[in-house]
Structure 1
Amino acid sequence: MSIEEVRANATDVQSGAGTLPPFVSTKKPGPAPARVDPPSSTDEGLPSVEASPSPFARKEAFARELLDLRKELEASIGPEDLEHLRKMQWWGRGCSALGYATAWIAPNPISALLIAQGNTARWTMVTHHIAHRGYDRVPDVPEHQTGRGFAVGWRRFLDWPDWIHPDAWRHEHNALHHGNTGETSDPDLVEENMEWLRQSDLPLVAKHAIVAFFACTWKLTYYAPNTFLEWRRVQRRRAGEQDDGTPIRLISAFDPFTEEGRSFWATCVLPYAGLRFGALPALFSPLGPWAVGSVFLNSVFAEVLTNIQSFILIGPNHAGEDLYRFEGRAKSHSEFSVRQVIGSVNYATGSDVVDFFHGFLNYQIEHHLWPHLPMRQYQRAQPRVKAICEKYGVPYVQEGVLRRAKKMVDIMVGRASMRTVDPAGAR
């Protein structure tokens, strides 16, 4: 996918500012990230050291070979891709069904884990790839499994009941994140968003405690308000209202005394909370108050678990001292392509079982190169993309998810910094 296609939906929506935590109003400049400069001559009298070539050195040929692979993958999209989506969807539904079928017996970790896995699968595999229009090219695909028809209107509560509003997700994730990956204007750039914590004087144990809190709650405390406020910002711009581009303060979404806060509660918080923690437990009323209470407690526990699981899977995708962040916008499609690779990380890949429990987020490099492809195509593309990267000297990072989570936390608390590339070396 070209840089123009990725950014097509991002016109007039660039904020140019990161997201601030709820209780911080300004950012301090952070420590300089590790910079990788293009090769240069050595100082006189010092031994010569061979510099690593820039990952952008052969970017044009690299992008051309990726384009050929993209065309091949697009040509092979067919009914098998839709069947694969439905298989992943039914695996997720099966987890949810089994979880709720046992949740009434007593509060227990097994039911909560199953419900959590179903929730995560619905977000990371079904919603994520359908919202990217990954299945729009499949012949005779049902409207509700297309990018425009998924989770629209009343189908939101059938396709993707969540704290996050589907339209807000489409804008924040598809347009802003994918159009600005690793840049300061990327609303999901971990290092930028956590600069307040990185620069704080808190003890390290306190910093880790704050990270743990966000890991347990981040869908409600970060993703829902962040996507909603970015969505509201672009709506105001389209309506002709002025926007000074000030950083978003997530706490403002929870203020019921403002119009925006009331809208957030009515649009995101109350519908999902009412369904997940009210209506679903109430369905077990015929089995008695113990059953209702057990389902409620298992639902709460499952919410914490799905937050932790998705935090570990999603957060590290673009965070780590061996990944890059970028200064300014990419100047060409070839530069954009290299950025998607060196600013992303893959986890272990392989069978559908492995990929299911990784939420298909283990193909993040391939996904950022071509976000419009179905999940099954990433399985086919991964070894070939890795080989192309090796051929052209473009770093391809692949590591276990728990190790990546550790590297993400190090970035969040300020123990490590991401790498940057000298802008001159990318041109």
Structure 2
Amino acid sequence: EKARNHTGTVEGGEPMSATAEMGVLGCALLGAMDECIAEGITGEHFANSEHRRIWEAIREVTEEGLPCNVVTVHDRLNTSGKADPSYLVRCEDAAPTSTNLGYWLPLLKKSAVRRLYKAKMAKLGKALDDHTLEPDELTAAFEAEILDLSGEDTKKTTRADSLVRVLANIEQVQFKGKVFGLTTGFPELDNVIGGLHNGEMMVIAARPGCGKTALAANMAESLVSKGVPVGFFSQEMTEDQLNFRMLCTHARQDSRELMRPHTLTANDFPKISAAVGRMNSWPLHIRDKGDMTIGQIRAEARRMRAIHGCEVFFVDYLQLVHPDRRGEKRYQEVGAISAGLKNMAKELNCPVVALAQLNRETVRANRAPRAYDLRESGNIEADADQIMLLWEPTGEEMAHPTHTMVEGIIDKNRNGGTGRVNFLFRKEHTQFETVSPINDEDIPPSL
């Protein structure tokens, strides 16, 4: 008989509380099954395999609306194997009334957590024995398991919980006019993609010099100015360079003028100082280490999510991220990086906005880009939930020195429609604005 004492062990020496398991089963037999479900109890909480069988039988009987007692549960157990009715009576005796549930539940949960920790440590021990893993991969594995433990209880939600969230999102859109996800700062873009969605990866792709970093920085600024914590991985620019760009945007200052001596007026300095003060309070967390691997980015993102509560991550840009393993063909490396960013979005349940380069052929062909023009890997197109491609319809040779019209082509939207958004890119402020198609002479001067 496996379940004999309060601190016994079963099946491989896993720590358990046999009496607590019997107590919870007894309460469930006496009508407390709904309370158990509400507390998040599942079959995984029971170390004893026979207890798990009994739990599932009680759950099935309850869900079918049948009376829950020793007789009905015994009959259900007999359909999948032999069952001892006297053992069910002993479980019932362990909890004279269903009100004992408040005593047994904490003991059951404590035992389950101890088993979970032991399983995680065993998994990490196997990772240490795998001599093919690089140190960065080991670090990422350890951090993932530890952070997974800290959020284990919050992850386990029922389908009803998910449906409640889905309905709440629909109500936000239909009755309050809000987008489904986090706003990008560009209403016309939000109208097409419905905002940035948890668990999804959006790819913003363009040829070099088309403003993709500026657009991402504008989106990040819009989010942090509303108090949304943002993580920004800058593989190409330093933190100072990125902050300089965002300061020019926020203070409406010409970036070229700021880099030339004696160009500012007495009125400019107070505006710049005020903008710096506001920016200093933004929950923006920039990481500018240029040689990060995808494993390092995911590990740092987990850390930023846990410590700073980051709700969205930007990566500039995808093809500059290093793979965890070298030696594969380039398209395989880029594919692994793309899959890693998509998995990061799912693991952290937040949006990931990844910037990417387009092939040079799109410029030479003088045509609007398509998703298959993404440089070095078709996996990016497959992994992305949304893809927006930036291009200048007039071409580089017709570009205005201070501004240019840029089309944002939403070429893929897994859960919505596609379309085009017209941007005006003010180069002097590194700022994007959404506009209707207009001629240069109709563009208002910058404020």
TM bin, normalised by shorter chain, reads: under 0.3
Greater share of strand = 2
Q: TM-score, normalised by structure 1?
A: 0.24
Q: TM-score, normalised by structure 2?
A: 0.23
